[in-house]
């Protein structure tokens, strides 16, 4: 044996069908890799919102209560957040405030309205059904109904913000409920939280999306796997010889049908019986079941059907199925 033959590594024996399956699998992975790379490098764009200017408009109010001269309260004006006597309070002074802030210099203008509102309503569970609504100037009169009343002071208006990126206007409204006591008692004012409106001036821009490194890595792995499969078939496998193909077919036959056949030590005597060939193994087993006779084979040194022969012996003839020669 030459030195080259001694150094030559044995190759794995694979059937022609198996080699085709490996090569097709590798080629399929290469095709998927190429398609993924094309998809990854095709320019793709998305919409991105950029904030050009941001602003907020806040409506709020503060108040203080003026008291008539008395010996209970030490000061003439009481600050907000307290409890006041209806009999001693004669003036409630409200100061409304509207603040506008922007992320850059801008021209800010606007208008506002302060309105006193008297509403009458009837309660039905948690629902309030409006009966009337009167705004300044206040009107008095009887309506012939027994209704609850609500009195409030409302600030409303519009702020206009003119920036280098365009003009915006923002409507605002802020209301404070005022007490309507029926007799001389104590009262307090429930001032709501400030009303804040936050807005942005934005611009949508189309930007190119970056490459997906996850997709590139997946394509690279798939392409590497495909190349490895093809190289493995070409460099490290060989086709089965005809003898190996025949042995493989016998092993497959035994695995598939061995549990339904009887293994004989030696072939039976034909005794002048006619030999009838059968075209496939399934037909031989169907005939065996129909005649209630066993399907048999004689094993070679490897325990496989000798000469690839399986048969059913009847009193009149012997039905045979022989694996095709390779």
User: pLDDT by residue (tens digit) across 257-281?
Assistant: 666 777 888 887 777 788 888 888 7
- Give the model's pLDDT for residue 137: 41
For residue 4, is pLDDT > 60? no
| Higher pLDDT pick, 35 / 125 | 35
* Tokens at 218, concatenated: 């997946």
* Separation between Cα atoms, residue 76 and residue 98, nearest integer Å: 27
* Tokens at 182, concatenated: 């029926």
Spell out a b/e string for 59-69, using b for 16 or more CB atoms within 10 Å of the CB, else e. Answer: bbbebebebee
| Higher pLDDT pick, 186 / 146 | 186
Token pair 């003026």: residue: 66
**Cβ neighbours for 256, distance < 8 A, ≥ 6 positions apart:** 281
- Give the model's pLDDT for residue 184: 57
* Separation between Cα atoms, residue 285 and residue 6, nearest integer Å: 48
Rounded mean pLDDT, 86-93: 87
CA-closest candidate to residue 288, choices 304, 264, 312, 270: 312
- Range with the poorest average pLDDT among 105-114, 123-132, 159-168: 123-132
* Separation between Cα atoms, residue 225 and residue 15, nearest integer Å: 21
Grade residue 326 by pLDDT with cuts at 50, 70 and 90. Answer: very low
- State the pairing for strand pair 237-239/12-14: parallel
Q: What is the pLDDT of residues 299-325, one digit of tens each?
A: 877 777 788 788 888 888 888 888 776
Environment class of residue 84 by beta-carbon count within 10 Å: exposed (0-12), middle (13-18) or buried (19+)? Answer: middle
For residue 138, is pLDDT > 60? no
**Contact status, residue 263 vs residue 299, Cβ threshold 8 Å:** yes
Spell out a b/e string for 103-130, using b for 16 or more CB atoms within 10 Å of the CB, else e. Answer: eeebebebeeeeeebbbbbeeeeeeeee
Token pair 């070679």: residue: 300
Q: What is the pLDDT of residues 50-89, one digit of tens each?
A: 888 999 999 999 999 999 988 888 889 999 988 888 888 8
- Give the model's pLDDT for residue 141: 35
Question: How high does pLDDT run on average in the chain?
Answer: 80
| Higher pLDDT pick, 250 / 47 | 47
| Higher pLDDT pick, 3 / 295 | 295
**Contact status, residue 274 vs residue 281, Cβ threshold 8 Å:** no
**199: Cα within 13 Å, side-chain hemisphere:** 14
Grade residue 134 by pLDDT with cuts at 50, 70 and 90. Answer: confident
Grade residue 243 by pLDDT with cuts at 50, 70 and 90. Answer: low
Helix, strand, or coil here: 32?
helix
| Higher pLDDT pick, 10 / 222 | 222
Helix, strand, or coil here: 243?
helix
Cis amide linkage into residue 137, ω under 30° from 0: yes
For residue 245, is pLDDT > 70? no
- Give the model's pLDDT for residue 146: 41
For residue 252, is pLDDT > 80? no
């Amino acid at each position: 044996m030459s030195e080259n033959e001694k150094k030559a590594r044995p190759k794995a024996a694979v059937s022609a069908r198996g080699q085709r399956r490996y090569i097709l699998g590798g080629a399929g992975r290469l095709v998927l890799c190429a398609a993924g790379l094309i998809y990854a490098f095709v320019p793709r764009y998305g919409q991105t919102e950029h904030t050009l200017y941001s602003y907020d408009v806040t409506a709020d109010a503060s108040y203080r209560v003026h008291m008539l001269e008395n010996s209970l309260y030490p000061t003439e004006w009481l600050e907000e957040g307290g409890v006041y006597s209806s009999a001693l309070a004669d003036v409630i002074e409200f100061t409304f405030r509207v603040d506008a802030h922007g992320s850059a210099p801008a021209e800010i203008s606007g208008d506002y309205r302060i309105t006193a509102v008297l509403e009458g309503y009837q309660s039905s569970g948690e629902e309030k059904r409006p009966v009337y609504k009167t705004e300044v100037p206040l009107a008095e009169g009887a309506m012939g109904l027994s209704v609850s009343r609500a009195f409030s002071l409302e600030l409303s208006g519009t702020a206009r913000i003119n920036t280098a990126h365009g003009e915006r206007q923002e409507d605002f409204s802020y209301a404070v409920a005022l007490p309507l006591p029926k007799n001389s008692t104590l009262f307090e004012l429930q001032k709501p939280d400030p009303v804040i409106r936050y807005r942005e001036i934005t611009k949508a821009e189309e930007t190119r999306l970056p490459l997906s490194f996850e997709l590139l890595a997946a394509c690279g792995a798939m392409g590497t796997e495909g190349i490895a499969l093809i190289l493995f078939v070409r460099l490290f496998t060989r086709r089965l010889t005809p003898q190996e193909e025949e042995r493989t077919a016998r092993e497959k036959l035994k695995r598939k049908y061995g549990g339904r056949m009887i293994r004989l030590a030696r072939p039976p005597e034909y005794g002048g019986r006619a030999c009838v060939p059968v075209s496939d193994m399934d037909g031989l087993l169907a005939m065996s079941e129909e005649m209630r006779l066993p399907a048999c084979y004689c094993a070679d040194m490897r325990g496989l059907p000798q000469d690839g022969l399986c048969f059913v012996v009847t009193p009149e003839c012997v039905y045979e199925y022989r694996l095709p020669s390779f």
